[in-house]
């Protein structure tokens, strides 16, 4: 599975450097010198990291073979990704990458099947987007906190929740003010951090 780690922005300077919008919370590892990154569109890659530095909070990257501003400008908008199998394990057992949670089956503590995790959103608090089982209705957003998510079983492919009253009932949740909302216009290209899913990592306490 390919995991997005960044997107090439504008050229920086005249020697082929580019600003990269980081889509991972492990930029030092993902953009280490010598790292090969796959690209979308594929015709411009793969790209190999030749040099990196941080400047004013932005990641500046130079790729091998990109030596001038014009060539660097042709990379603008390119998505950068790695194979998920190249990522090492996380040290904290209560810490998970977004991609670990995608496609997990969600059940309540009573054994009722709720649906499948389709996305992880980072909008002030971490939320699991769950598609209800056997339903074409809206996704349910469940806060990723231990008080609600009581178990994450990656090997078993399941996640157990203990939802408060109204959380899984859209009409009741709206009346009670629970954070249960939906949208049909979210981008399918998601990542980590405040942007969204694919290369994310989050901890629940």
- Of residues 87 and 170, more confidence is placed in 87
**Residue 7 pLDDT greater than 90, yes or no:** yes
Out of 14-18, 120-124, 144-148, 175-179, give the one with best mean pLDDT.
14-18
Domain with CATH 2.40.30.60 in the chain: 2-85
In whole angstroms, give the CA distance from residue 77 to residue 80. Answer: 10
Contact criterion met (CB below 8 Å) for 53 and 32: no
Q: What is the structure's pLDDT at 172?
A: 45
Q: DSSP 3-state assignment of 157?
A: coil
DSSP state of 187: -
Q: What is the structure's pLDDT at 64?
A: 96
- Confidence class for position 3, pLDDT limits 50, 70, 90: confident
Domain with CATH 2.30.30.240 in the chain: 95-203
How do residues 125-167 score in pLDDT, each as one tens digit? Answer: 788 888 887 556 678 888 888 889 999 998 899 999 998 887 7
Residue carrying the six token digits 């908008």: 77
Contact criterion met (CB below 8 Å) for 122 and 186: no
- Confidence class for position 2, pLDDT limits 50, 70, 90: confident
- Confidence class for position 176, pLDDT limits 50, 70, 90: very low
**Residue 21 pLDDT greater than 50, yes or no:** yes
How do residues 84-114 score in pLDDT, each as one tens digit? Answer: 666 666 666 777 777 788 889 999 998 888 8
User: What top-level class would CATH report for the domain 95-203?
Assistant: mainly beta
Produce one character per residue of 68-78: b if its CB has 16 or more CB atoms within 10 Å, e if not: ebeebeebeeb
Q: Could you say which architecture CATH assigns to the domain 2-85?
A: Beta Barrel (2.40)
Q: What are phi and psi of 52, to 5 degrees?
A: -145, 155
Six-digit token pair at 92?
């904290």
How do residues 57-85 score in pLDDT, each as one tens digit? Answer: 899 999 999 999 999 999 999 999 987 66
**Residue 192 pLDDT greater than 60, yes or no:** no
CA contacts within 13 A on the Cβ side of 61? 30
Ranges of H-type helices in the chain: 27-30, 69-73, 98-101, 170-176
Compute the chain's Rg from CA coordinates. 19
Average pLDDT taken over every residue of the chain = 78
**Residue 38 pLDDT greater than 90, yes or no:** yes
First to last CA, the chain: 28
């Amino acid at each position: 599975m390919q995991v997005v780690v960044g997107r090439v922005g504008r050229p920086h300077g005249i020697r082929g450097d580019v600003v990269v919008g980081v889509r991972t919370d492990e930029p030092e590892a993902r953009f280490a010198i010598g790292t090969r990154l796959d690209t979308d569109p594929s015709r411009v890659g793969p790209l190999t990291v030749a040099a990196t530095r941080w400047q004013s909070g932005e990641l500046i990257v130079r790729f091998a073979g990109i030596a001038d501003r014009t060539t660097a400008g042709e990379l603008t908008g390119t998505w950068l990704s790695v194979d998920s199998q190249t990522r090492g394990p996380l040290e904290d057992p209560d810490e998970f990458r977004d991609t670990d949670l995608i496609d997990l089956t969600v059940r309540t503590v009573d054994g009722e099947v709720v649906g499948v995790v389709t996305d992880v959103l980072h909008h002030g608090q971490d939320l699991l987007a769950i598609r209800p089982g056997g339903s074409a209705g809206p996704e349910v957003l469940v806060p990723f906190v231990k008080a609600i998510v009581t178990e994450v079983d990656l090997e078993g492919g399941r996640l157990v929740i203990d939802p408060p009253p109204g959380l899984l009932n859209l009409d009741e949740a709206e009346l009670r003010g629970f954070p249960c909302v939906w949208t049909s216009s979210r981008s399918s290209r998601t990542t980590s951090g405040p942007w969204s899913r694919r290369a994310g990592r989050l901890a629940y306490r």
